Structure 1
C-alpha cells in the first residue's frame, strides 16, 4: 500500500511539474511613456467587476518586491508610487479570482483591472472587510462589513439569508427577542441606528413584527455596520449606522434567480439595458406564511392572517471609467389581521440617485439625492367602536462628498448634506358607528443640515490616524401651535397656561453641535495592533415607545422646545491579533458610552394619538459599557466565529419634581439590557457541493416590570407595579442547524441550491413576551408567550439561469 501511495505522489508531482513547464507565464506589460524617469513613477488604476462593471471597493493590490499593499477606495481606484523597475503586482478580492499582473514601470501611467467572480465555494468567512489584514492595519474601530457570501454561510432564518440577524451574531450587537426588529448596538435603542438602503433612510426594517427582515438578499451587495468610531460623513443617529449597498445588474448578459421556500418565494432578473453601459436589476419577494400561523399555539396568532412583500429596482450606468450613475428603488409592505378583526399595516418606500465621478487622479466626488417614505395604519372592524389610525413620515434630502488623495496613505474627505422631514404622528378616524371621536395630532416639520470633513493618514508602518469633525444644525419648523406651561411645575395638562401659533416655515426651535471623531492605531507588527477612539453624535428624531423593539404603531417624534436632541459620547479601546497567516483573527474591545436626553415615558403614560406628547415624557440619562471578545477562523473546512459580549445599558431619570422620577432617581436597566451575550457559529464543508452549519446563541433575559401585588378599586382588580425593570425574563438559549446542497450546471444550464434548516432544534420555549393574568386569592400570575416554542424546519430551492 505504501508503495502505491508513493507512486501516485511521484506521478502527480511529475504531471504538475510538466504542466508548470508547459504553462506560459503572464506577459510583462510596460506601463507609462518612457521619458527617462527613474523615481516617483505614479501608477494609478481602477478595479471593476468583469461582468457588471461595478467598482470593487476594498480590493487589495500587493507589490511583493516592496512588501507594499494598497486598497481601492470607494470608487475602486488605487495609486502606487514606484521606482523604475520590474514588478509582479497581485490583485485580490474575496469571491473573485486572483490576478497576477507583471509590469515594467517606465513612467506615469494608468491600468484597468477587470476581475471575474470565482466559484462561490469559498474557504473563508470574511467579517472585517475584504483585506485579511484590514482589522490590524486600518484605523477603523467597530466597522463591520458582511458580504453576501459571508451571510450565506450562516444557518438561514426561515430558509433564507437574513441581513439583520446575521449582524446580530457579532459582538456588541443584539436583539431583544426571538422575533424582534431592529438592532441594539452597544447599549443603544433601535431608534438610535440609522438604517439606509442605497443612501436613503429606512424607518421599519422588518416584516411580520420582526420575524423577517425587509431586505431581499438577492439585491444586496454588502452591508457595513459602524458601531464605534463612525466616519464624519454619517450622522443623524446616536448609536450606529447600518449602510446597505444595493447590487448592480450585469452589463454583459441576462440572468434570473429564483427561490421557492417553505414560507417565502422570490425572483430577481438582471441584465444589460444598453450593452456594456447600462444594467438593470429587479427583485421581488412575497410571503405565504398563513399556514405557519395556524400551527402556532397562541389562539390570537392561530386565527390571524399575514401578508408581506418587498421589491427592488436598481439601474446602474458605469458610462466611463470616471463616471458612474446608480438609481435605486425599494419598497416593502405588510398587513397583519388579528383574530379580533384588527388589521395593522405598514409600508416603506425609498428612492435614491447616486453619481460617482473621478475628477482627476487625486480628486473624486460623490453626489446623492434621496426620498424616503414610511406610513402605517391600524384598522378595527369589529363592528363596535370601529376606528382607523394613520401615520406618515416623509424624508427628502441630498448629500455631497469630495475626496482628495494626497498619497495612498494620506486622504481627506469633506462634504455636506441637507434634508427635510415631515411627520404626521397620528390621526384617529372613527367608523360610521360607535362613540369614538375623531382626533388628529399636528404635523411636525424639521430641517437638518451638516458639514463634515475627515482626514486619514499613516506615519510609517506602525502609526495610523483618523480624525474628523461634523457640524450638525437642526431647525424645528411651523406651521404649528405650541402649548406653553407654567414655570416651576411639571409639564402636564394641568400646568398649561396658553399657546403660541407659528406660521408655515417659521423657526420654532434650533439646535446645533460639533461632533468630533478620532481614532489612532499602533501596530506592534503585521499581525498585532492596538487602537483607541472617540466619537460624538447627535440625534434629532426619537422613537416614542414603551416596547423594546420597533412596533409599527410606535410614534416617531422630532426634537422640539421640550424634547432636546439625544447626544452620545463613546470611548473605545481595542486589541487585535491575527494568527497563522490570518487564518485565525481575534480581538477584544472595551467601550463606554454616555447618553444625554434619552426619551423615557412617565409611569402610566398614554402614547397613542397624543397632541401634546411632551406631557407623557421625561428626559433620561443613559450609560452603556462593555467588553467584546471575538475569535474567528477564516480558512479550512471548518470555519466560523465565537463572539461574547459583557455589557450593561442603564438609564436614570432625575427631575426637579419627585413625582416624575423613576425608581427614586436610581440607575435601572434599560429595556434591552442583556449583560451576557454569547454566539457560536460553525460552518463545515463536507464536500465541494455540501456544507452544514450551526448557530448556538445564549443571552441573559431582558428586563421586565412585574406587578408586586394587586388591589381592588371600585370593584375592579388592579395590579400594583413598584420599580421599573427590576425583574428579568428567563435566559435565552437556541440552537439552529442548516444543510446546503449545490447542484452544478454548465453552459446555459441552471445550477441550484437546496437548503434545509431547523430553527430552535431543541424546541426551547424562549419567551417573546411576558403578560399577566388574574387568579382569585393569588398575586398576578405571569404567563409566557413563545413564538417559536417547537423545532421549526424549512426547505428552500434556489436556481440560477
Structure 2
C-alpha cells in the first residue's frame, strides 16, 4: 500500500508540473492582442424545449469538440474573433451558428429533428472518438434515442433487457430480474435512479423493467474500472439519470400497447426558470398471462404501475436544483391463492453548482424504501402474511476542480444508513390459526466513504486516471447476537450463549481501501490500448437459493459472521475505430478475485431465519473472460455484435467436512454461462420507416439434478450429489420489430406505430427445470418455459 501511495504522489506531481509548463507557455504569448472570452451555451429541442444531453459543438477554427452536460450546456473559451459553431445531435439537423466573440455572454441553440435522407449523413451525438481517447474501461452510455432503435420488449423500450445485449452482461433466462455482470451476482449491481438506489428494478418478476422510458434521459453502465465516487457494490454500477421537463413550453407523450399504457406531461412551472415532468405507466397484462402454456401462470392475476415526478430549477447559470420522485408497485396472485407484492419508493434532491470557472460542486440527498410481502389467503386457519422491507437514506457531496479540459481532480464523500426488516409472519386470524406469529430481528448498519480521483493526460498518447476510496461500515444494535462454541461449525447445536446490544451499540465494524487506476496509450487517433484495476467492497448480501432476484429473497447486512464481499478486478482492452469512427471495435479481457461471497448449505432453510448464519457458508469466487464488440454507428444499417466467453466459479472449503461443497473443488455459479452472443441490427428503410432485429444465444445455466431416489420412513426422497454439474438446454431467441413514424407537419401531434414479435420461431427456452416422482422410475425432469410461443405486440405512441 505504501508503494501504491508513493506512485499516486509521483503521478500527481508529474501532472501538476506538466500543467504548470503549459501555463507558462501561454503567459509568454502576446496577451495584448488576444483575450480569453467565456461564452456559455445551452442546446434544446425546438419543439419540446427539452435539454439535449450529449450534443456536440465543434469549433472548426480551433479544432475543438465539446459535449453538452446534463442540462444541455457548454462553456466555450474563445479569443476575440469570428467563429462558426456547429451543433450536432443524433437524429437532429446540424445547426451552423456564426458568432463574433467580443465579450462574455450566453446563447440558446434550438435544434429540430431531421428527416432521414437515404444518403449517409455523419451525425455524432457525442465526442466521436471518446472510446479511443478516454481512460474509461467497460463504461457504456446509451441514450434513449439509441435504446428506442432496439426491438421493444412487450410493446416498449426495456432498459434492463437492453443492458443485457452488451458484452459481459447476461441474465439467467427470460423474465429474469436483475443483471449478471462479468460473473457477478444480481445483488452485486448498484442500480440507481436519480442517485437513489433501487433494490428491485422489475415488474412481474422480470418481464418488465420498472423504469418508464419517457422519464429517462440516459443510462450508463460501469463494469470495469468504476469511478471512485461509486461504492457499496462489488460488480457494476447502473446509473440512470431522469429527464427534465421543458422550461419553454408544455408537451406530452402518450403510448398504448396491448400490454401496458403510459402518459407523461412536461412544461414550465415558472417560464425559463422551473420545469416539471411527470409520468405514470400501468398494465393490463392478465390476458397475456391467460395465453401462456404454464398452467400456474395461466390461472394467475397480475397488475403493476410506476410513476415519476421530476422538478428541475436552473435558478441561474451556475446553480441548478433537481427533485426526483419515483415509485413502482407490483401485485401478483398465483393460482394457488398466494399473492406476492412489492413496492419501490424513492426521493432525491440534487444541487449542482459552478462555484468558479474551474471549481464545481454536486450535492445529493436521497431516501429509498423497498418493501415486499407474501399473502396466503386460502380462506382457512392457515392464512398468513409475511412482511419485509428496507429503508435506505443517505447523502453525497463531491467537488471537481479542472486545471484544464484534460486535467481534473474530483474529491468527495458519502454517508448512508440502511435498516432491514428481514421478515415478519403475521397470522390472518391469530385466535383460530394454528400458526404462531414470528418476527426476525431488524438489522441496522451505516456506510461511509471518502474518495478522490485524478484524470490527466501526458501528451497526446498517454492518459491516466487513478483514485482511492476509503469505505467504513458499522453494524449496530439493537440486536441479540449468538455465541458459538469454538472449533465447531455454526449450527443450532453449537450455540452456547447470547449477547444483547442496545440501540446504536456498535456490534462490529469493517473498513478498507479501494484503489482504482486506468492507463491509456494511443497509437493514433483511432487506436488505443487500456489497462485497469479496481477494488470494491460490498456490505449487503442477497441471500437466495434461486438464480434470479425474487421477492421471497432475503437482504442481509454484513455482521459478525458474514463478512463484506471484496472484489479485485484486472482488465486489459484494445480499441479501434474504423472509417472515420463509423465502426467501433474493442476487445477486453478481465479477471476477478471474489472474497466472502455467500453460498448456502445443502438443505438450507432461508425463510424467517433469526440466525441465518447457521444456513450459510463463506465461499471464494473467481471470474474471467474475453469480450468482443463491433458497433456500426452510421448509415442505413446500424447496430452491434457482442460476443463474450466467460466463466464464473465458486469454491467452498471450511475446516468442517459437512460444510464443504463439491469436495472443495471449483464449481460453476448459478449464473455461469460460458458463451454469449448478441446480434443487434436496425435498418432505416425510408425517412419514416425502420426495421430492427435482435438475436441472442447463450450456454444454458448450471443446475443440480437428482441422481437417485430412496425411501425413508415411507417417504420417497431425492439424492443429490455435486452442485451445479449439469446445465439446462442452451438459450436462443430472435425478436423483430417495425416502426412507422407519422409526421404531424406542424399539426397537433406526431405519432409512431411499432409492431414487434418476440421469440419469432417459438423457441421454448427453459427458465428452470423441476422434477416429478414417477413410481418405479428415476425423478423425471420437466422444463418451465416463460415465453414458449411467438409473442406479438403493437403500440402507438404520440407526442403533442
In the superposition, the TM-score normalised over structure 1's length comes to 0.93
| Residue pairs, 1:764-779, within 5 angstroms | 764-779=763-778
SS of aligned partner of 2:754: strand
> CA shift at 1:277, angstroms?
1.0
Alignment partner, residue 456 of structure 1: 455
> CA shift at 1:103, angstroms?
4.5
The whole-number CA distance in structure 1 between the counterparts of 2:142 and 2:423 is: 37
Is 2:419 the partner of 1:422? yes
Pair 779,188 (structure 1): closer, same or farther in 2 beyond 3 Å: same
The whole-number CA distance in structure 1 between the counterparts of 2:229 and 2:112 is: 31
Pair 536,120 (structure 1): closer, same or farther in 2 beyond 3 Å: farther
Alpha-carbon contact 2:44-2:72 (below 8 Å) kept: no
Q: For residues 209-230 of structure 1, give each alpha carbon's deviation from its aligned partner in whole angstroms, at most 9, with x where no partner exists.
A: 0011101001100110001011
The whole-number CA distance in structure 1 between the counterparts of 2:697 and 2:362 is: 42
Alignment partner, residue 23 of structure 2: none
| Residue pairs, 1:286-297, within 5 angstroms | 286-297=282-293
> CA shift at 1:255, angstroms?
1.1
Alignment partner, residue 598 of structure 1: 597
Is 2:573 the partner of 1:574? yes
Q: For residues 3-53 of structure 1, give each alpha carbon's deviation from its aligned partner in whole angstroms, at most 9, with x where no partner exists.
A: xxxxxxxxxxxxxxxxxxxxxxxxxxxxxxxx9633573545343425677
Alignment partner, residue 208 of structure 2: 212
SS of aligned partner of 1:577: strand
Runs (5+) with no aligned partner, structure 2: 1-29
Alpha-carbon contact 1:566-1:595 (below 8 Å) kept: yes
> CA shift at 1:298, angstroms?
1.4
> CA shift at 1:293, angstroms?
1.1
Alignment partner, residue 401 of structure 1: 398
Alpha-carbon contact 1:128-1:146 (below 8 Å) kept: no
The whole-number CA distance in structure 2 between the counterparts of 1:795 and 1:378 is: 33
What's the RMSD between the two structures over aligned residues?
Answer: 2.1
Alignment partner, residue 26 of structure 2: none
Is 2:131 the partner of 1:132? no
Alignment partner, residue 22 of structure 2: none
Is 2:228 the partner of 1:225? no
The whole-number CA distance in structure 2 between the counterparts of 1:538 and 1:412 is: 23
SS of aligned partner of 1:149: helix
> CA shift at 1:239, angstroms?
0.3
Alignment partner, residue 307 of structure 2: 311
The whole-number CA distance in structure 2 between the counterparts of 1:760 and 1:634 is: 26
Alpha-carbon contact 1:381-1:387 (below 8 Å) kept: yes
The whole-number CA distance in structure 1 between the counterparts of 2:496 and 2:192 is: 42
Alignment partner, residue 144 of structure 2: 148
Runs (5+) with no aligned partner, structure 1: 1-34
SS of aligned partner of 1:164: helix
Alpha-carbon contact 2:88-2:123 (below 8 Å) kept: no
Alpha-carbon contact 1:306-1:337 (below 8 Å) kept: yes
| Residue pairs, 1:14-25, within 5 angstroms | none
Alignment partner, residue 669 of structure 1: 668
Q: For residues 732-754 of structure 1, give each alpha carbon's deviation from its aligned partner in whole angstroms, at most 9, with x where no partner exists.
A: 01000101111110334111111
The whole-number CA distance in structure 2 between the counterparts of 1:789 and 1:188 is: 28
> CA shift at 1:106, angstroms?
6.2
Alignment partner, residue 329 of structure 1: 325
Alignment partner, residue 12 of structure 1: none
Pair 604,128 (structure 1): closer, same or farther in 2 beyond 3 Å: farther
Alpha-carbon contact 2:253-2:799 (below 8 Å) kept: yes
> CA shift at 1:281, angstroms?
0.8
The whole-number CA distance in structure 1 between the counterparts of 2:469 and 2:69 is: 21
> CA shift at 1:114, angstroms?
2.8
Is 2:720 the partner of 1:709? no
Alignment partner, residue 114 of structure 1: 109
Alignment partner, residue 245 of structure 1: 241
In the superposition, the TM-score normalised over structure 2's length comes to 0.93
Alpha-carbon contact 2:116-2:686 (below 8 Å) kept: no
Pair 155,194 (structure 1): closer, same or farther in 2 beyond 3 Å: same
Alpha-carbon contact 1:396-1:421 (below 8 Å) kept: yes
Alpha-carbon contact 1:40-1:81 (below 8 Å) kept: no
Q: For residues 84-125 of structure 1, give each alpha carbon's deviation from its aligned partner in whole angstroms, at most 9, with x where no partner exists.
A: 654443333334443334455567x45444342424859999
| Residue pairs, 1:296-375, within 5 angstroms | 296-375=292-371
The whole-number CA distance in structure 2 between the counterparts of 1:81 and 1:692 is: 43
> CA shift at 1:799, angstroms?
1.2
The whole-number CA distance in structure 1 between the counterparts of 2:249 and 2:39 is: 29
SS of aligned partner of 2:766: coil
Alignment partner, residue 280 of structure 2: 284
Alignment partner, residue 266 of structure 2: 270
Alpha-carbon contact 1:356-1:366 (below 8 Å) kept: yes
Mean Cα deviation higher: 228-237 or 70-79: 70-79
Alignment partner, residue 539 of structure 2: 540
Alpha-carbon contact 2:88-2:125 (below 8 Å) kept: no
Alignment partner, residue 507 of structure 2: 508
> CA shift at 1:319, angstroms?
1.4
Query: Aligned pairs, how many?
Result: 766
SS of aligned partner of 2:423: strand
Pair 121,672 (structure 1): closer, same or farther in 2 beyond 3 Å: farther
> CA shift at 1:436, angstroms?
1.7
| Residue pairs, 1:82-97, within 5 angstroms | 86-97=82-93
> CA shift at 1:512, angstroms?
0.6
Alpha-carbon contact 2:56-2:124 (below 8 Å) kept: no
The whole-number CA distance in structure 2 between the counterparts of 1:324 and 1:474 is: 32
The whole-number CA distance in structure 2 between the counterparts of 1:520 and 1:77 is: 29
| Residue pairs, 1:65-76, within 5 angstroms | 65-72=61-68
SS of aligned partner of 1:282: strand
The whole-number CA distance in structure 2 between the counterparts of 1:315 and 1:232 is: 28
Pair 115,463 (structure 1): closer, same or farther in 2 beyond 3 Å: farther
Alignment partner, residue 384 of structure 2: 387
The whole-number CA distance in structure 2 between the counterparts of 1:76 and 1:521 is: 28
Alignment partner, residue 586 of structure 1: 585
Alignment partner, residue 411 of structure 1: 408
Pair 388,761 (structure 1): closer, same or farther in 2 beyond 3 Å: same
The whole-number CA distance in structure 1 between the counterparts of 2:520 and 2:64 is: 18
Alignment partner, residue 612 of structure 1: 611
Alignment partner, residue 12 of structure 2: none
Pair 122,43 (structure 1): closer, same or farther in 2 beyond 3 Å: farther
The whole-number CA distance in structure 2 between the counterparts of 1:126 and 1:505 is: 60
Q: For residues 255-314 of structure 1, give each alpha carbon's deviation from its aligned partner in whole angstroms, at most 9, with x where no partner exists.
A: 121111011011111111111111111111111111111111111111110011101111
SS of aligned partner of 2:61: helix
| Residue pairs, 1:742-761, within 5 angstroms | 742-761=741-760
